[in-house]
Amino acid sequence: MYLRATGFQGLSILDPHLPRQTQLSIGDPGALPSYNPDAFALQPFRAQLDARDGHWGRAELPAGDYWLVTSNYADIELLSCTEGADGGSPAVRPSLS
C-alpha cells in the first residue's frame, strides 16, 4: 500500500521551515496498539514509516484488515495495490479532552 500525509495541523509559527512529517504505525486488528514510553512508539505493529508532507511512502503487507495510527493530526491518504481493497471503516480522530 502507498500512504501520504497532508493537511498538518498545529505547526510551529516560530519555525515554519521545520519538516512536516508524521510517523505512521500499521497493525493487525486483533492486536490493538498501546503506547510504549520506553520505545516512544505504539506496539505491536506490522509496519512503521515516516511520512513527509505530500510524499508517498510504501508499506508492503499481505492483503487483510489493518489499523492505522498517525503520530499527529495529519490527513492520511491510502492507495492499495489491490483494486477495491482500500475500503473499510472511516477514520476516527480521538478527542484530546
User: Mean pLDDT, consecutive 10-residue segments, the chain of 97 residues?
Assistant: 81 64 88 85 87 87 87 82 61 48
Write the CB contacts of 40 (distance below 8 Å, at least 6 apart in sequence).
Answer: none
Q: In this predicted structure, what is the pLDDT of residue 26?
A: 92
How distant, in Å, are the alpha carbons of 21, 52, 55, 68 from that of 32?
23, 25, 27, 10
Q: In this predicted structure, what is the pLDDT of residue 97?
A: 42
Q: In this predicted structure, what is the pLDDT of residue 96?
A: 42
Q: In this predicted structure, what is the pLDDT of residue 91?
A: 54
